[in-house]
Amino acid sequence: MTVLRFRKSSYSGTGEDCVEVAHIPPDFRKSSYSAQRQECVEVAELPCGAAIRDSKHPTAGHLPFPASEWTGFLTAALTR
């Protein structure tokens, strides 16, 4: 179960009535192209595309891709 952490929106101003927003962390999984190797690329589906990260350094961040770029990448990778 994902725990959401809310923060006050920067659009709320200084009043007490405000809007809060939450960031949903990506759910990474091992890429099917990594086979049985320990060092692999992990991928996560995002509402607007996908993200990848290095399994050796998961806390170093990730690279997000818009849906159109991710689709283009997959198309190019699968036709090779």
At residue 35, the pLDDT reads 65
**pLDDT of 60 over the 80 cut:** yes
Q: Which of 79, 41, 47, 80 has the alpha carbon at shortest distance from 66? A: 47
* pLDDT given at position 33: 65
21: Cβ contacts below 8 Å, ≥ 6 apart? 6, 7, 9
Tell me the mean pLDDT in the region 39-46.
84
Whole-number pLDDT of residue 69:
93
Which residues, 6+ apart, have CB-to-CB distance to 72 below 8 Å?
none
Q: What is the pLDDT of residues 4-32, one digit of tens each?
A: 677 777 766 676 677 777 767 778 888 77
